[in-house]
């Protein structure tokens, strides 16, 4: 086994990955533009509107700054609850090995869809929407070597 880790993903890790995805896209840019526009509208009209409109303005400002991130975190938390806590993941020249208390499985390198680095993590995609998050604290000083190894196996 070239690399072997005790696999642990927290809701915060999935939340960060989701937020990177949202705010690194056109949707995130639109969210920011909407939020800035709502802040400007709120400050301009705050003294002139009734309490109902003030509540609507505060909710509009909170939509992408508080409500959306909280909803994404709750979804991540429910997803993490389905991941086994005793999972071990290994990587070698043949593929990826996943071992839990009750089950073992293997993924060949040619089935892996991609790999990318984000701040504090490497993400290995097994499908277009699913994969494994390998955090920096799992990799230690081997992050770059591990990333290069996985990229070399996927690109064969």
Distance, CA of 47 to CA of 62 (rounded, Å)? 19
The pair of three-digit structure tokens given for residue 131, joined into one six-digit string: 């994969």
Do 72 and 93 lie in one domain? The reply is no
Average pLDDT along the chain = 91
Alpha-carbon separation of residue 79 from 67, 71, 130 (angstroms): 18, 12, 11
Question: CATH code at 96?
Answer: 2.30.29.30
Q: Does the pLDDT at position 156 exceed 80?
A: no
| Domain closes at, from 81, 105, 137 | 81
Distance, CA of 65 to CA of 59 (rounded, Å)? 10
Do 18 and 43 lie in one domain? The reply is yes
Do 17 and 55 lie in one domain? The reply is yes
- Per the structure, the complete domain to which residue 104 belongs is given by 3-7+85-155
pLDDT digits (tens, 9 = 90+) for 42-99: 999 999 999 999 999 999 999 999 999 999 999 999 999 988 888 999 999 989 999 9
Q: Does the pLDDT at position 1 exceed 70?
A: no
Number of domains in the chain: 2
Do 96 and 149 lie in one domain? The reply is yes
| Domain closes at, from 61, 81, 101 | 81
Do 94 and 113 lie in one domain? The reply is yes
| Bridge partner list, 115 | 124
The pair of three-digit structure tokens given for residue 63, joined into one six-digit string: 């939509």
pLDDT digits (tens, 9 = 90+) for 122-137: 999 998 888 899 998 8
Listed residue (143, 23, 137, 133) closest to 76, CA to CA: 133
| Domain closes at, from 47, 81, 115 | 81
Do 99 and 146 lie in one domain? The reply is yes
């Amino acid at each position: 086994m070239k690399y072997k880790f005790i696999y642990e993903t927290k809701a915060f890790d999935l939340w960060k990955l989701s937020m990177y995805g949202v705010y690194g896209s056109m949707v995130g840019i639109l969210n920011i533009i909407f939020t800035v526009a709502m802040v400007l509208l709120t400050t301009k009209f705050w003294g002139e509107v009734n309490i109902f409109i003030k509540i609507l303005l505060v909710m509009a400002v909170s939509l992408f700054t508080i409500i959306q991130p909280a909803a994404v975190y709750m979804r991540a938390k429910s997803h993490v609850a389905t991941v086994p806590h005793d999972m071990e993941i290994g990587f070698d020249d043949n593929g990826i090995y996943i071992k839990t208390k009750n089950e073992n499985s293997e993924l060949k390198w040619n089935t892996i869809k991609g790999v990318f680095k984000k701040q504090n993590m490497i993400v290995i995609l097994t499908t277009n929407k699913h994969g494994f998050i390998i955090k920096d604290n799992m990799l230690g000083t081997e992050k770059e070597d591990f990333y290069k190894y996985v990229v070399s196996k996927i690109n064969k």
